[in-house]
Amino acid sequence: RGGYESASKHFNPADVEVDVAGRSFLVTGANSGIGKATAKEIARRGGTVHLVCRNKDQAEVAKEEIVTETGNQNIFLHIVDISNPKEIWKFAEKFQDEHKLNVLINNAGCMVNNRELTEDGLEKNFATNTLGTYIMTTALLPLLEKAADARVITVSSGGMLVQKLNVSDLQSGSGPFDGTMVYAQNKRQQVVLTEQWAKAHRNIHFSVMHPGWADTPAVRSSMPDFYERMKNSLRTEAQGADTVLWLAVSAEATKLPSGLFFQDRQPVATHLPLAYTHSPPEDEEKLMEVLEEFSQKFKSVSPG
């Protein structure tokens, strides 16, 4: 929280005091934590917000809260499990026929501390954080390509700084399984995805960010020891969401190059000084190829 408080002294409040009526935003993992805080702030500014959530009951409560607190009726709910690639494809294909989209916020994520497989046989952290983010984004690119001032923001984590991209074991099948490190690896993968997309799609502004460590339900449940030690110094959900909001609505964000990693409204390095976390371009290309293969495999089996 201290980091946020000192950084925020230099923020220009006018950056986010904007009216975004008529613009459409999709937020994944929007029923709690940073996703909900972001959705609420966009709703306050008049945006049309699509909440993509896995848990229907929690999502309905979140939607009700957002509508009540903001008075914005243009809040739509979609129930999608981001760890299920077939479901994402089905959702994205239907969404493109019915809606427009200016800004995609990839916020859904998970940190599962034991190696669990989804019904498709995918390791759950990889399925949600990496493949889910990849499919949601690439499936909606055609819609974003048509939009004015299109943006894609992915919520990563500073934890990724300890990981070098590892394309040889994307599903963490070899060696001992450490959920925290698997999560950090997925978050490194999201940074690489953002950099690669930024090169390939010039008329969409891509960014990836570290929200700082915030007091969210996800941190409480997946990192209980860390939470107990740090709970008095964690950021609030709104503080964690601040840079997401800034990247989603401010004119300032898109003056900076596409593909950067942000913390507290500033681009920051994606590697620590002297760290051995840089990867060769062929590894980054390999990541894109493998994800595209997975993506197409699940697309071909989706109905319609």
As a whole number of angstroms, the distance between CA 57 and CA 149 comes to: 33
pLDDT in tens, 131-188: 999 999 999 999 999 999 999 999 999 999 999 999 999 999 999 999 999 999 999 9
pLDDT at 215 over 90: no
Sign of the torsion formed by the C-alpha atoms of 226, 228, 231 and 235: positive
Instruction: Supply the angle between the helices 33-44 and 56-70 in degrees, to the nearest 10.
Output: 30
pLDDT at 138: 98
Specify whether domain 1-297 bears CATH 1.10.8.60: no
> In this structure, what are the phi and psi dihedrals at residue 118, rounded to the nearest 5 degrees?
-80, 180
Per-domain boundaries in the chain = 1-297
Q: List beta partners, residue 48.
A: 24
pLDDT at 99: 98
Is the separation of the CB atoms in 283 and 167 below 8 Å? yes
Our answer to whether residue 183 is catalytic in this structure is yes
Cβ-based neighbour number of residue 302 at 10 Å: 15
Mean pLDDT value across residues 88-111: 97
DSSP code per residue over 224-260: HHHHHHHGGGPBPHHHHHHHHHHHHH-TTGGGSPTTE
Residue 53 clears pLDDT 80, i.e. is over it: yes
Q: Work out the percent of the chain whose per-residue pLDDT is above 70.
A: 98
Q: Tens digit of pLDDT for each residue in 268-300?
A: 999 999 999 999 999 999 999 999 999 999 997
DSSP for residue 117: B
Q: Distances in Å between the alpha carbon of 123 and those of 83, 127, 160, 217?
A: 9, 6, 18, 22
Q: Which of 4, 134, 183, 227 is an active site residue?
A: 183
**Cα separations in angstroms, 181 against 15, 28, 38, 49, 201:** 35, 23, 26, 32, 30
